[in-house]
A and B are shown apart, each in its own frame.
Chain A
């Protein structure tokens, strides 16, 4: 299906910081073309997990393998990897185009037409000659994604890539991610809070809590499902539940029962 099938394997990955356990026995396998979202509350370990896969933080124990060999110890393996942190690092004194040149130089690659097309789709092509100090947060996110996709990576890690973006820009970004994953077989791992927004684009999910995987599975085949709940006070229950974006729809069935519609029934079941 793809030119080359790649696999990312995490085996019992553990990360401790002094006496605290940030990640505890994380294990999973991903293959080419998959788009995985990491879900979890603040402090669950989402960013730490992305950082250890990226090699920015070192793991305490376990292994991170790319096609069966160490992702970070093999230089040729590390070249396939890109990471976009939550707050994209940028030098305010350089232009957007300088940033693309910088990354292209780091990875020994060129700024391809495809990258320019992506920046055009993201509506930042005309701003590439301006210094990034003049960019809005959303524009920085868009430029960061363009930088991340430079040089045809095989594994892309994105930490909250749609943060600070308007809904249309978010959809364009997610469309680009889906296209690249489908056409080129790139493995995407995305950390996001905006579950509803990305639900249609992802193939796998992974739920983290206190550094431990609560659940992980494929999204394919999981359609919106309903949970019937008996409650004491429907008004109060509605007030609380509407705050959670994971529910597509909440229906009041009677004075003491409500129906929650969600695409994440499997995850909620845990």
Chain B
């Protein structure tokens, strides 16, 4: 199976989708408003403001957008998915392609959030521009961007799992959002935050704050990679197994 063509066509289809444009436009708006909020009310606009803004959107709004987007398109009568279900393509391939498509969505969304936040910050304090470019902040921003993508992948897999398990798009959306929010709320109370993937959404930002403030020592990066990989792998595996045993 030629994944490249399928992924290209999926992305072409997504880019044509009003839903895709709207979700990204609203993320962009949210990012600029939040950054303006931080830059306006923070005493002294600095690079921390930009990270704070990206941080707040990435841990609150973005997971919800990802869950909405990953459960979307999976409903029985949506064109591409049905096309594939009616083909010889194994269900696990459908899930892998969906996962790559979600990777693309996360990439675009995070790029929209981060570029907006950094741009607004640098526009509000033009003297930061030279610090940003010459003090390896660009490198820090890139690492932050890449690590944020990795932490978001289990969320996409979580949405895909629910979408594979349940037939209706709305039920899958409700179930994925509901379980995610409940687990996210109770993770600290039951002391399971170490094991739940949403806990690692913070990690790249903690590292970034520390680097900006000249602190070293805090390092949960390895945990972030391990947790993200394990959750992504097992959720996609479960989605494949579940969809294989279901009639569509």
Interface pair B89/A106, CB less than 8 Å apart: yes
Q: Shortest CB–CB separation between residue A92 and chain B, in angstroms?
A: 7
Please name the residue on chain A nearest to B14 by beta carbon: A93
Interface pair B86/A102, CB less than 8 Å apart: no
Interface pair A89/B89, CB less than 8 Å apart: no
Given the interface pairs A91-B79, A98-B12, the reply to whether A56 lies near B86 with Cβ below 8 Å is yes
With a 10 A CB-CB cut-off, give which of A57, A105, A108 has the most chain B CB atoms. Answer: A105
Which residues of B are found within 8 Å of A78, using beta-carbon distances?
Answer: 88
0 or 1 for each of A76-98: is its CB under 8 Å from B? (1 = yes): 00110101110001111110001
Please name the residue on chain B nearest to A157 by beta carbon: B86
Given the interface pairs A56-B86, A56-B247, A89-B82, the reply to whether A106 lies near B77 with Cβ below 8 Å is no
Q: Shortest CB–CB separation between residue A98 and chain B, in angstroms?
A: 6
Q: Report the tally of A-B residue pairs with Cβ distances under 8 A.
A: 76
Which of A57, A89, A90, A106 is in CB contact (< 8 Å) with B247? Answer: A57
Which residues of B are found within 8 Å of A90, using beta-carbon distances?
Answer: 79, 83
Interface pair A102/B9, CB less than 8 Å apart: yes
**A79 vs B89: C-alpha distance when bound (angstroms):** 9
Interface pair B83/A101, CB less than 8 Å apart: no
Q: Shortest CB–CB separation between residue B244 and chain A, in angstroms?
A: 9
Is A54 interfacial (CB 8 A cutoff)? yes
Q: Shortest CB–CB separation between residue B241 and chain A, in angstroms?
A: 14
Given the interface pairs A81-B88, A102-B80, A107-B87, the reply to whether A93 lies near B5 with Cβ below 8 Å is no
Given the interface pairs A103-B83, A107-B87, the reply to whether A89 lies near B9 with Cβ below 8 Å is no
Give residues of chain B (32-82) contacting chain A, Cβ–Cβ below 8 Å: 77-80, 82
Which residues of A are found within 8 Å of B77, using beta-carbon distances?
Answer: 89
**A54 vs B83: C-alpha distance when bound (angstroms):** 13
Given the interface pairs A56-B85, A85-B86, the reply to whether A105 lies near B13 with Cβ below 8 Å is no
Interface pair A106/B88, CB less than 8 Å apart: yes
Q: Shortest CB–CB separation between residue A66 and chain B, in angstroms?
A: 12
Which residues of B are found within 8 Å of A105, using beta-carbon distances?
Answer: 1-6, 9
**A56 vs B47: C-alpha distance when bound (angstroms):** 54
Interface pair B88/A79, CB less than 8 Å apart: yes
Is B17 interfacial (CB 8 A cutoff)? yes
Which residues of A are found within 8 Å of B216, using beta-carbon distances?
Answer: none
Which residues of A are found within 8 Å of B13, using beta-carbon distances?
Answer: 91, 93-94
Is A196 interfacial (CB 8 A cutoff)? no
Which residues of A are found within 8 Å of B194, using beta-carbon distances?
Answer: none
Q: Shortest CB–CB separation between residue B83 and chain A, in angstroms?
A: 5
Interface pair A106/B6, CB less than 8 Å apart: yes
**A146 vs B76: C-alpha distance when bound (angstroms):** 22
Give residues of chain A (99-128) contacting chain B, Cβ–Cβ below 8 Å: 99, 101-108
Which residues of A are found within 8 Å of B79, using beta-carbon distances?
Answer: 89-92, 94
Give residues of chain A (45-91) contacting chain B, Cβ–Cβ below 8 Å: 54, 56-58, 75, 78-79, 81, 83-85, 89-91
Interface pair A102/B83, CB less than 8 Å apart: yes
Interface pair B87/A103, CB less than 8 Å apart: yes
Which residues of B are found within 8 Å of A106, using beta-carbon distances?
Answer: 1-2, 6, 83-84, 87-89
Given the interface pairs A56-B247, A106-B88, A106-B89, the reply to whether A91 lies near B83 with Cβ below 8 Å is yes
Interface pair A89/B88, CB less than 8 Å apart: no
**A223 vs B174: C-alpha distance when bound (angstroms):** 58
Please name the residue on chain B nearest to A58 by beta carbon: B247
Which residues of A are found within 8 Å of B87, using beta-carbon distances?
Answer: 103, 106-107
**A106 vs B90: C-alpha distance when bound (angstroms):** 10
Which residues of A are found within 8 Å of B90, using beta-carbon distances?
Answer: 75
**A96 vs B88: C-alpha distance when bound (angstroms):** 20
Given the interface pairs A101-B9, A106-B88, the reply to whether A89 lies near B1 with Cβ below 8 Å is no
Which of B3, B6, B248 is in CB contact (< 8 Å) with A56? Answer: B248
Is B130 interfacial (CB 8 A cutoff)? no
Is B136 interfacial (CB 8 A cutoff)? no
With a 10 A CB-CB cut-off, give which of B2, B6, B17, B86 has the most chain A CB atoms. Answer: B86
Q: Shortest CB–CB separation between residue A14 and chain B, in angstroms?
A: 14
- Give residues in B with beta carbon < 8 Å to A: 1-6, 9, 12-13, 16-17, 77-80, 82-90, 245, 247-248
Question: Can you list 18 pairs linking A and B with CB atoms under 8 Å apart?
Answer: A54-B86, A56-B86, A56-B248, A78-B88, A79-B88, A85-B82, A91-B80, A91-B83, A93-B13, A94-B80, A101-B5, A102-B5, A102-B80, A104-B5, A105-B6, A105-B9, A106-B2, A106-B89
Q: Told that A89-B77, A107-B88 touch, could you supply 9 new A-B pairs with CB distance under 8 A? A: A56-B248, A83-B86, A89-B83, A94-B12, A101-B5, A103-B87, A105-B2, A106-B6, A108-B1
